[in-house]
Structure 1
Amino acid sequence: MTTILHVDSSPLGAASVTRQLTASIVEALVKAEPSATVVARDVAANPPDHLSGELLQVVKFRNLESLNERQREELALTDALVDEFLAADVVVIGAPMYNFSVPTQLKAWIDRLAQAGRTFRYTEKGPEGLAGGKRVIIASARGGVYSTNPALAGFDHQEAYLRSVLAFFGVTDVTFIRAEGIGMGPEAKDKALADAAAAIDGLFAAA
């Protein structure tokens, strides 16, 4: 049975373009495989704390002696997030572009996933991803048009970052569904949504 992890990161609620797109993607996945299990993770509504010095010692460096209550809770949350990610066959991520990068809540979630010995490991030949074998579909929303505009391509630290960090985890089956130009007026937004909807239809028509 396929497990789908559905991750939303936009704090805009019903006004979010990426939430609209991830819902459509998950709906299409379940339609293609009705027996699939969907696990929802809203990192905007329930964001993991950013890694302060106190939490880094525990969550990243695994210094586990004399933990206080908060550290134990954060360690348990981190392990649960990693378990959830590793257990998923398909991960659908809503990732709007904020200031040329990803929302801080999404970055906080990714920081929890980056666990040596679980999602990656260091070897004599360099880092090796341990989380391969899954499919990731990312709903990407951007106010401008970056994918086809050379003048803006260098400002894209959103999709480039996501592709890089997933590759570091060993995930190479990554597809972006883009809604670009949504900040360029109503007509441009309508076109962006229509193009994204067609991309979703095409993605599953080809499957």
Structure 2
Amino acid sequence: MTTRALVITSSILGNQGQSIALAEHFSARAVERDGLEVTNRDLVADELPHLGLAELGSWQVPAAERTVEQRELAGRSDALIAELRDHDVLVLAVPLYNLGIPSQLKAWFDRVLRAGETFRYTEQGPQGLVEGKRAVILATRGGQYAGTPLDSQTPHLKSMLGLIGITEVDVVYAEGLAMGEGHRDAALKEARQAIDGLVESL
């Protein structure tokens, strides 16, 4: 049985970004493992615009009644949701920008977190509709934030994933990357080792 992993990157630094390097390490290890396939999506190279009212409104129109423009706008979200559903594991390589996630990644979430498609509202609260998925977050930071009040990124990501039903989430941190070469190298080595273990568990 084949396990399919969707690897999403969002670093504006391209090949110079440490989150990109960790995503590439994941993909390289995955290729070496039988039964694991990888799809890559670079949200900087293939950037999504900020979500606007026209696009949001297109989701509310029944598919058969959409105009040409509405079909094109709704198609962005439809394609991203279909891609997510078609994979078993979601890997998010996420740098920390001003204590948050890159706006490129937020634009992706804005189209994937869609009421009536990936979650629904019930009397007991939101219910996720994306079932049986696992997520891996590869978090790179210049400083050390994990476990502190300044790490608003981790709970934000876990909350958005949980909204659509992805609650099995592993986080690999590579922190202190701007705190000296020795600290950086040690953190990246530890992160790569953690990734190796995760790949074997998929």
Give, in angstroms, the shift of residue 163 of structure 1.
0.6
Kindly provide the CA deviation profile for residues 141-180 of structure 1, in whole angstroms up to 9, marking residues without a partner as x: 01111125xxxx2221211110111011111111111110
Aligned-residue offset at 1:197: 1.5
Larger CA deviation: 194-203 vs 40-49 = 194-203
Q: What does residue 161 of structure 1 align with?
A: 156
Q: Which residue number corresponds to residue 49 of structure 1?
A: 49
Distance 1:93 1:126 in 2: 26
* Aligned-partner residue type, residue 58 of structure 1: S
CA RMSD of aligned residues (A): 1.9
Q: Unpaired runs of 5+ in structure 2?
A: none
Please tell me whether the aligned partners of residues 47 and 109 of structure 1 are also in contact (alpha carbons under 8 angstroms). Answer: no
Deviation of 1:87 after TM superposition, in Å, equals 1.2
Do the aligned residues in 1 keep the contact of 2:26 with 2:199 (CA within 8 Å)? no
- In the other structure, the counterpart of 1:9 is 10
Matched, 1:202 2:197: yes
**2:67 alignment partner in structure 1:** 67
Check conservation: 1:22, 1:94, Cα contact below 8 A: yes
Q: Kindly indicate whether the alpha-carbon contact (under 8 Å) linking 2:30 and 2:38 is maintained by their aligned counterparts in 1.
A: no
Q: Match for 1:121: what amino acid? A: R
Matches within 5 A, 1:43-192: 43-59=43-59, 61-62=60-61, 67=67, 69=69, 71-148=70-147, 153-192=148-187
TM-score (norm 2): 0.90
Between the two proteins, the alignment pairs up a number of residues equal to: 200
> CA separation in 2, counterparts of 1:66 and 1:204?
42
> What 5-or-longer segments of structure 1 have no aligned partner?
none
Deviates more, 1:92-101 or 1:186-195: 186-195
TM-score normalised to structure 1 length = 0.88
Question: % of aligned pairs identical?
Answer: 40
